[in-house]
Amino acid sequence: MEIENILKGAILSALREMDLSDCDFDLESGDQSGIHGDYATNAALLAFSKDKKNTTVKNPLELARKIIKILEREASLQGVIAKMEAAPPGFVNFYLSEEFYWHFLLEVFKRGDDFGRQSVGQGKTIVIDYSSPNVAKPFGVGHLRSTVIGQALYNIFSFLGYRVIGDNHLGDWGTQFGVLLFQIDQNKLDADKLTIEDLEKLYVSFHKRLDKEPQLQDEARSRFRRLESGEPKLKKIWQKLVDLSLTEYQRVYQLLGVEIDLCLGESFYQDKMALVLADAHKKNLIVKSQGALVIPLKDSLVPAMLVKSDGATTYLLRDLATIRYRVEKYNPELIIYEVGADHKLHFSQVFESAQKLGYIDRKKLVHVAHGMIRGRFGKLSTRAGKSVYLEKILTEAIDRAKQLAAQAGIAKSLPEGEQKEVAKKVGIGAVKYNDLKQNPKTNIVFDWEKILSLEGNSGPYLQYTYARARRIIEKEKPDLLKTPNYQPKNDELSIIRLICYFEKTIRQSAKNFSPNLIANHLYQIAQSYNTFYGRHRVLVKDQETRIFRLLLTAAVAQTLKNGLALLGIEAPEKM
């Protein structure tokens, strides 16, 4: 039962009955207290402003009262709305009926894992570019944000009915391979025997030497030019480095529970860059600048360099080839890049260039620029040799989750195998939630005490609330499809309102590219339910009260499970 569609349809019908123009009015959800209604609309304010000359009312408040008079006759609102009121300067507040709430809880129960699923994106395609670690380097914690935020956005848009293409645009091409090829050659190393840690050491040691030996940069560039021209020996070594990296990354993805549809690295577009250059020449966009080929952009942007003065292609050119390919293959509504904020200038150049080339409207290109994960000494950097391996973070999270369970006395009744599985779900979920509860734009500092806590806004807190709710339901297993004749208390109504707003929160999260809106909404639900649980018994003797509270508990559990799934977090049945 999509209450917002019902209300919007009724309001539009009322406006037409008064011969007022349709207006793009808002329908805002209230807070969990319901003091000012469950929903409110500014339709009267907008309609009065638009049709002042065509209406007989003196002000928006009077128009709001007239709208209410018409809505009182609206059949679709019977049994749904308990009352309506006009509020200055011209809002209409709607209060949902208890009958609606009962039917709504039943619908949540019936829809199960599909509760919250919508079809607003039906027939539309979205490409999400995320994770994208740099090949030949360990999977560092710095790529955690792109991976988990990108996957959450993928889940959210899929849940809204979009066809979503997830693309792991690996950094498997570029001058960094010139660095490694030079280091392997100079140190006479066997590429077959190198580990991912060895490759990182080679990369770091190169940059330490660079300050005193700047000519090494030319050596690296020369090796990459030779690789780009297809030199067989270098191509063979490069492929070994890529294969080694992919094996390492797959292990991390399995730990995170992440699966990405495509893994098309920069190298995939090597034979497609010439098409971009041809397009740019046809449109007379290319200018030669100090031997390099560039596209001049608007005054506020640095020109987009496509080919360097030494003839080597750029990351930017490969990104344009990628856009060209994605547009031709998928015709997407949006292409979303979940990449760090330090790439803002680059994506501004890419998006502006793509529009100049006529590939896509810039409005369809979105950079979700996440903040950095910071260590105690500032930004973590591979060049400086301070990288923190993501796999080690995840393994430590699982170990800490085991310790947390032991200290709190939870999961002790479970068999050892299940205890390990719960620790994995809680540990990995805690790391993900710590990221996803925060606005993508903000920086993150790791704090294990907050990440793995059974109190406050944390993953384990939500998982524990879900497991508690499931335990209560499993104890009873009543016929929850009955509609009890029961009048909900304020504590119960506040929970139902939050569950009612879940579907809208999913849409807002997608609109703002902000999974944190879902995370924090789930926290509100869990917090409200635990407050209720602390004040009231669920399994009371009175049958009507008992069934209603069990139905409410089932709806809380289902909403938490579905919301956590959107964030890529598993909800353990037992803890």
- Domains in the chain and their CATH numbers? 3-96 (3.30.1360.70), 125-266+326-379 (3.40.50.620), 390-566 (1.10.730.10)
Three-class DSSP labels, 94-116: EEECHHHHHHHHHHHHHHHHHCC
How many angstroms separate the CA atoms of 394 and 141, rounded? 9
Please name the residue that has the structure tokens 């030497």: 209
Residue whose C-alpha is closest to residue 102's, from 526, 523, 480 = 480
| pTM for this predicted structure | 0.93
Q: How far apart are the first and last CA of the chain?
A: 33
CB distance 81 to 11 below 8 Å: no
Where is 148: in which H helix or E strand?
Answer: helix 144-159
Query: What is the per-residue pLDDT for 467?
Result: 95
Query: Per-residue pLDDT averaged across 237-252, rounded?
Result: 94
Query: What is the per-residue pLDDT for 377?
Result: 43
334 forms beta bridges with 126
DSSP 192: G
The rounded Cα 491 to chain-centroid distance in angstroms is 31
How many residues make up the chain in this entry? 575
**Burial bucket for residue 162 (CB in 10 Å: 0-12, 13-18, 19+):** buried
How many angstroms separate the CA atoms of 105 and 547, rounded? 11
Q: Is 131 left (phi over 0), alpha (psi -120 to 50) or beta?
A: left
Reported as a pLDDT band with limits 50, 70 and 90, residue 530 is very high
Residue 50 clears pLDDT 90, i.e. is over it: no
Residue 403, both tokens: 């310790």
Query: What is the per-residue pLDDT for 380?
Result: 47
Amino acid at 131: S
Reported as a pLDDT band with limits 50, 70 and 90, residue 379 is low
Query: What burial letters (b/e) apply to 33-71, b meaning 16+ CB within 10 Å?
Result: ebeebbbbbbbbbbbbeebeeebebeebbbbbbbbbebb
Residue 345 clears pLDDT 80, i.e. is over it: yes
* 301: number of Cβ within 10 Å: 15
* Angle made by CA atoms 80, 83, 87, in degrees to the nearest 5: 130
Query: Per-residue pLDDT averaged across 232-259, rounded?
Result: 95
529 versus 299: the higher-pLDDT residue is 529
Residue whose C-alpha is closest to residue 520's, from 456, 449, 570, 468 = 456
How many angstroms separate the CA atoms of 369 and 347, rounded? 10
* 28: number of Cβ within 10 Å: 14
Tell me phi and psi for residue 375, to 5 degrees.
-95, -175
Residue 351 clears pLDDT 90, i.e. is over it: yes
Query: What is the per-residue pLDDT for 359?
Result: 98
Residue whose C-alpha is closest to residue 86's, from 108, 110, 53, 59 = 59
How many angstroms separate the CA atoms of 375 and 262, rounded? 31
Residue whose C-alpha is closest to residue 74's, from 57, 92, 55, 47 = 92
R_g of the chain computed on alpha carbons: 28
Reported as a pLDDT band with limits 50, 70 and 90, residue 421 is very high
Give the tens place of pLDDT for each residue, 54-110: 667 889 999 999 999 999 999 999 989 999 999 999 999 999 998 898 889 999 999
Give the tens place of pLDDT for each residue, 491-526: 999 999 999 999 999 999 999 999 999 999 999 999
Give the tens place of pLDDT for each residue, 117-175: 999 999 999 999 999 998 888 888 888 999 999 999 999 999 999 999 999 999 999 88
Residue 477 clears pLDDT 80, i.e. is over it: no
Query: What is the per-residue pLDDT for 452?
Result: 86
Residue whose C-alpha is closest to residue 247's, from 130, 149, 135, 394 = 135
Amino acid at 227: L
Query: What is the per-residue pLDDT for 53?
Result: 65
Query: Per-residue pLDDT averaged across 287-313, rounded?
Result: 91
How many angstroms separate the CA atoms of 123 and 156, rounded? 16
Which CA distances in Å does 206 have to 96, 385, 389? 66, 11, 20
* Least trusted range by pLDDT, from 18-22, 98-102, 146-150, 391-395: 18-22
Give the tens place of pLDDT for each residue, 365-378: 999 999 988 754 44
* Least trusted range by pLDDT, from 168-172, 325-329, 480-484: 480-484
* 352: number of Cβ within 10 Å: 18
Cα atoms in the Cβ-side hemisphere of radius 13 Å centred on 367:
18
For the chain, give the percent of residues with pLDDT over 70: 96
Tell me phi and psi for residue 231, to 5 degrees.
-60, 120
Where is 93: in which H helix or E strand?
Answer: strand 91-96
Rounded to the nearest integer, the mean pLDDT of the chain is: 91
* Least trusted range by pLDDT, from 145-149, 349-353, 414-418, 571-575: 414-418
* 242: number of Cβ within 10 Å: 18
Query: What is the per-residue pLDDT for 396?
Result: 92
Residue 192 clears pLDDT 50, i.e. is over it: yes
Query: Per-residue pLDDT averaged across 382-408, rounded?
Result: 80
How many angstroms separate the CA atoms of 60 and 251, rounded? 61
Query: What is the per-residue pLDDT for 54?
Result: 65
